[in-house]
């Protein structure tokens, strides 16, 4: 069953068509990757799905509801969390304060505390640094914080935009291990990632975007072995 369905989505920046009639779905429990070169429309797709950009046409269905024209904060409350490109943690606030902000749509204090303890268990470094300003963390630790903050909303779907950007290889491996753990614990994942090889290695299915259009889709392993994908995105 598809928890997220995007149908015939079109988005403009002024007169420029950024997304051209794209359609795809994410089934409950999957990791689905969107791959493509810079400027292909991957981040625009995520911003439109999460309510940060308005679509010119098309529909977005999430968990049985049409969210095409719904505000981003309302979408969070419905169960979709967005980890933006570049982390965007609140640098002057502590790790703990950043995490608590992630739960702003929730009301039950006991449930929030349970989720916080779960986050600390999954990200032990965040517990060690809970009283530090977020701006003093390393890039990898900030990415963990951004993911932890998103998980504080207890999402059904987590949307990740370039989680490996700017990270050392050790942190990249750790972040991708965590994404798989998050998925195994029951959260559906929509992943935009420049590192196509890494994304395809953990995804169930994937879509390839080029200049705002989906040009290929299928099983992630099949795309990993597709000659055109190899040549364009997987060469060392």
Section 207-232 average pLDDT: 92
Which among 87, 26, 45, 33 is positioned nearest to 197, based on CA atoms?
33
Whether 236 shows a pLDDT value over 60: the answer reads: no
Q: What is the pTM of this model?
A: 0.90
pLDDT in tens, 108-119: 888 999 999 999
Domains in the chain, CATH or no CATH each: 2-234 (3.40.50.300)
């Amino acid at each position: 069953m598809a928890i997220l369905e995007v149908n015939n989505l079109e988005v403009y920046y002024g007169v420029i068509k950024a997304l051209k009639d794209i359609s795809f779905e994410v089934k409950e429990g999957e990791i689905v990757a969107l791959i493509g070169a810079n400027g292909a429309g991957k981040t625009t797709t995520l911003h439109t799905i999460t309510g940060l950009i308005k679509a010119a046409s098309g529909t977005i269905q999430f968990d049985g509801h049409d969210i095409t024209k719904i505000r981003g904060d309302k979408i969070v409350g419905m169960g979709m969390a967005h980890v933006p490109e570049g982390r965007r943690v609140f640098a002057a606030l502590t790790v703990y304060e950043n995490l608590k902000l992630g739960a702003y749509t929730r009301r039950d204090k006991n449930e929030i505390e349970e989720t916080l303890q779960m986050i600390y268990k999954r990200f032990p470094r965040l517990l060690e640094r809970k009283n530090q300003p977020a701006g003093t963390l390393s890039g990898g630790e900030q990415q963990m914080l951004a993911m932890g903050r998103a998980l504080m909303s207890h999402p059904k779907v987590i949307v990740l935009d370039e989680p490996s950007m700017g990270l050392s290889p050790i942190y990249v491996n750790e972040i991708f291990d965590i994404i798989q753990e998050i998925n195994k614990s029951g959260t559906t994942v929509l992943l935009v990632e420049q590192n196509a090889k890494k994304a395809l290695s953990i995804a169930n299915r994937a879509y390839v975007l080029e200049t705002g259009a989906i040009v290929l889709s299928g099983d992630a392993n099949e795309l990993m072995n597709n000659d055109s994908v190899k040549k364009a995105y997987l060469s060392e």
